[in-house]
Amino acid sequence: MKRINMMSSADRVEGQGVGSATKEQVNLVMESLDHDYEITKNQLVFEGINHYHTIDFRHFLHMVFSGKKNAKVGSVHFLPETIEGSIKLPFGIRHIFYRYIIRFYKTMDYLVTVNPYFMERLVAQGINREKVHYIPNYVSKDEFYPMKRKGINQIKASYGIDTDQFVVLGVGQIQTRKGVLDFIEIAKDNPEMTFVWAGGFSFGKITDGYDALKKVTKNPPSNVKFIGIVNRSKMNSLYNMADVLFMPSYNELFPMSILEAMNCKTPLLLRDIPIYEGILNGYYIKADDNEAFSNELRALSNDEIYYRTASHMSKKGSDFYSKEHVLVMWEAFYQKVYEEKLGSMTAKDSKSINGHNGKKHFKEKVVS
């Protein structure tokens, strides 16, 4: 049987989107493609497809010494430009780290990015355009789904929030690029609303802007709650409690929180940045400064028709990024990898197995 070996250490750092994205992709493949592939995780195998979800140095060594009997697939969860504003490193170390990231990607036979916007960015780094593929993130509707009003009121009560309060939710690591300081300033301008931020300092003191962010999160405005890193199993409750997911990030790829909120029909208010254009057009409300953000929040809070429209936009996004849609893309991609990279080796192996010098060929099941 054909093999896919998933290599990842994304779950080592709590509260980061890479871990959630990897978990969803691995679960999707293991549940749906196990009839065509033997799927393993973090095994030191040198045949079939090795799919690297994180850029660990041990994964790099595994690639270098794994030989030519396997296909190397890499998931692109970030680029040097998306790390800016996330972690603060000395210039020399940052330069070496950024060069390592690109070297890691260049070593791959195939790359998968969750946002087509970054395909040309990878090409600009000297990576062959033909090896770069786009497959979006996916979120299970079994784990993220709309809840009934009674349950939502109970969740609000557990956080000390009145049932009639308009709740604005922010999700992600507390970093400069996430727009946390803007989140707080907008909260100050809208004291009648409750602002909740779920996430923490996953990378500790090397977080960019750590001192300023730590200070403001310790003493936030009275209508702002920083609730720290929340286990993913409890995030569905937060998306349902929220009246809007507000993400003022300056740089992203494709946040899992957006997909999770869309599954709950929670409206999205996002910064107007180019990376969202190709993947979220028609599914979210956009703004580009604090005044515009405040105006949109007030409109959502006061205009029932506008709010319903925004909720419907979110649902449309959830329908588009469905399990069936994304699964078809992964099926076609892995089949392409096998045919292009491993097909000749599979044919040779089948001759050896059958012992008929190719007169009786081993036929792989074709994924439709």
- Give the pLDDT score at 11: 72
- Give the pLDDT score at 176: 86
Task: Taking residues 221-237, report their average pLDDT.
Answer: 95
Task: Taking residues 349-362, report their average pLDDT.
Answer: 37
Global pTM exceeds 0.85: no
In this structure, which topology does domain 2-138+322-354 adopt according to CATH? Rossmann fold (3.40.50)
CATH architecture assignment, domain 149-320: 3-Layer(aba) Sandwich (3.40)
Range with the largest mean pLDDT of 8-12, 19-23, 78-82, 349-353: 19-23
Instruction: Write a three-state SS string for the chain.
Output: CEEEEEECCHHHCCCCHHHHHHHHHHHHHHHHCCCCEEEEECCCCCCEEEEECCCCHHHHHHHHHCCCCEEEEEEECCCHHHHCCCECCCHHHHHHHHHHHHHHHHHCCEEEECCHHHHHHHHHCCCCHHHEEECCCCCCCCCCCCCCHHHHHHHHHHCCCCCCCCEEEEECCCCHHHCHHHHHHHHHHCCCCEEEEEECCCCHHHECCHHHHHHHHHCCCCCEEEEECCCHHHHHHHHHHCCEEEECCCCCCCCHHHHHHHHCCCCEEEECCHHHHHHHCCCCEEECCHHHHHHHHHHHHHCHHHHHHHHHHHHHHHHHCCHHHHHHHHHHHHHHHHHHHHHHHHHHHHHHHHCCCCCCCCCCCCCC
Residues forming CATH 3.40.50.2000 domain(s) in the chain? 2-138+322-354, 149-320
Task: Taking residues 186-200, report their average pLDDT.
Answer: 96
Residue 281 has pLDDT above 70, yes or no: yes
Q: The dihedral of CA 194, 195, 198, 203: what is its sign? A: negative
Q: For residue range 163-181, what is the model confidence (pLDDT) as tens digits?
A: 999 999 999 988 888 999 9
- Give the pLDDT score at 94: 82
Confidence tier at 126 by pLDDT (50, 70, 90): very high
- Span of 10-24, 106-120, 125-139 with lowest mean pLDDT: 10-24
Residue 348 has pLDDT above 60, yes or no: no
- Give the pLDDT score at 356: 39
Percentage of the chain surpassing pLDDT 90?
A: 63
